Structure formats: C-alpha cells, structure tokens
Amino acid sequence: MDEKIKVIIDTDPGVDDAIALMYAMNCGKFDIKLITSAGGNGPIEQITENAIFLTELFNQDIPVAQGAKSPLVRPANYAVGAQGKNGFGKFKYNAKKLKHKPLSLEACDAIYEVLKNSEEKISIIALGPMTNLAKLLQKHPDCKKKIKEIIFESGTKEKIYGVPYKSFNVGYDPEAAEAVFKSGVKLVMVPMELGHFAYLNHADIKRFKKANKIGKIYAKMFAGYRDYHVGDLGAAVHDVCAIYFLSHPELIKTEQGHIEIDYYKDESHDFGYINTDYTKKPNATICVDIDIRMFKYELFDILENKLNV
C-alpha cells in the first residue's frame, strides 16, 4: 500500500470546500495532520464550526484550529452571497450538538507546531484566503524548511474581458497572498478556470441527492450555492481541484509561470489580484486542464462506495 501524503488543509467551508474535504477525508490518499479555518465565507467562529462539523460527519479524528478573524490590513468582507448565510448553502446543522472544540492554539501557531514536529516536509493545501499562512510565515520564518509546497485555489490564468479579475480567496486578503508568494516556498496555483471545467451539472447534483444521506446533505448545500460563472449550469467545485492535484497529478495538465499580486484601483474599486506573467522567471506551477471524466468518476466513487458513515 502506498504511503499516505501528509497534508495540512487551510480552508473556509464553504460549499466547494465541503466537497473538497469530503474527497480529502475519504479518498484514502492523505494523512491529514491538521485542518485550520480561514476567514472568508463567514465569521471565523462559524467557519470553524463548519470545519468541525465535517470532521464529525465523516468520523474523522482530525484536530481543527481556528484562524485569523480578519485579513492582515483590510476589513473582513464575507462571501455570503455565494455560499449562504452559514456557508453551507441551504443546509443547516445544530452547532450545539458538535462534540469537539477547536484547539487552543491559533491556526498559524498550530500549523507551526505540526511542521516543527514532523520529520518530513508537509504539503499545505490552501482552499481559502491565505491570512493564516501569511501570519505563519511572518511569525515563524523557520517553518519554510518544513513546507513541501503550498497548493492554493484562487486567481485566473487570464484576464476576464481584458481587465483584472478579483477572485475571492485572493481578493479577501491580497496582502496575505503577496506575503506567501514572496516567501520563496514552492507554489502550485489552481486557478478558478479548473472549477469552471469541473463543475457538477444538474444530473450530477441529482445523483448526489439519490446516493445516500451524505449526498442529500450536499444536495441541500448546492441548492443555496451561487457560483456566478457557472450560473444556472450547476455547481462549480473549484476547491476539490486543489486536492485532486495532489492525489492525481498525472490527471492535471500544468505549466510553469510567474505569479505576483498586483493592485487595481479606480473610483469604485480597490482590490488585489493575481497577475500571471509568462515573460518572467517562473515561480509557480499553474494548473491549466483536468481530466473531467476521471475527476467525476473518483468523486462519485467516494460518495457512493467509500464513505464510512
């Protein structure tokens, strides 16, 4: 049996984060050392409870640490319009019934402890804004020698309609992303285009609903999930693509490029975005395509055959 890949997942569940965590916890490929909550899809307390709910839903004994309450320098601006009031679309659960609490350490310190005590390098998968990772690198710069890579979901490979695009995970805290990009740590960018290729159509969502009790939960999540690019076609699942890169790199096409944070400002906008430049020395692996047939096969195999619930 292949040795499991050791990972830390920094996430802001979130509907597409919830799909990513379902995959990560049940595909059998990962040894998840820690889950940390990232601000973004709602207040950090809500997002932390969502992460704990998912570990309990899948009977996983994985510690959860609560992350930063707000971006490094900007006010928090949550994505409730896309994810719903509690982050899970139209699905609700009773937080009073949760059996676990977050660790006493803040996320940046909890990540550092896991890295420091590991004999080998660990991959970090960032499914939300990168505030926790920026704080980690600023507070504990020696952590870099223990980070194998940071795989993050955000940004677009190209400009949209010729202008910069404010993807949420970077736009929520661009200063944090800038600190991560400048750290020298190996980077893998999973741009939003992959989620727009690998979206779940209406037939897929019906298949979730018919699969089992877990599928019904996710179908309720999808009912209140609004990805503005996929629109009425179904539900984009950007974050699963970041997990899938690590479990099946042979099924994702990549190229080398240079990424950096730039800032766009006019009378009504002030945001940061990822600028991809292929004329400069590469500093990142950029995912550009995915085997959608195998991606969906793997996802439904887990949902219908591998869930231990």
User: What SS3 string covers 240-282?
Assistant: HHHHHHHHCHHHEEEEEEEEEEEEEECCCCEEEEEEEECCCCC
| CATH superfamily of this structure's domain 5-306 | Ribonucleoside hydrolase-like (3.90.245.10)
The pLDDT tens digits for 101-128 are: 999 999 999 999 999 999 999 999 999 9
Per-position b or e across 152-176, b if 16+ CB within 10 A of its CB: bbbbbbeeeeeebbbbbbbbbbbbb
The pLDDT tens digits for 223-278 are: 877 765 555 677 888 899 999 999 999 999 999 999 999 998 877 778 899 999 88
Indicate which residues carry an active-site annotation: 238
Question: Residue 214 has which token pair?
Answer: 């877990």
Using alpha carbons, list the distances in angstroms from residue 151 to 87, 117, 165, 174, 242: 22, 21, 20, 16, 7
Q: How confident is the model at residue 73 (pLDDT cuts 50, 70, 90)?
A: very high
Domain ranges of the chain: 5-306
pLDDT at 228: 52
pLDDT at 232: 66
* pLDDT reading at 169 higher than 70: yes
Q: Which of 167, 221, 249, 251 is nearest to 19 (CA)?
A: 221
The pLDDT tens digits for 5-29 are: 999 999 999 899 999 999 999 999 9
Strand 64-65, strand 122-126: pairing? unpaired
* Cβ contact 75:43 at 8 Å: no
Tell me how crowded residue 110 is: count the other CB atoms within 10 A of its CB. 25
Task: Give the containing element (helix H, strand E) for 286.
Answer: strand 284-290
Can you give the pTM of this predicted structure?
0.95
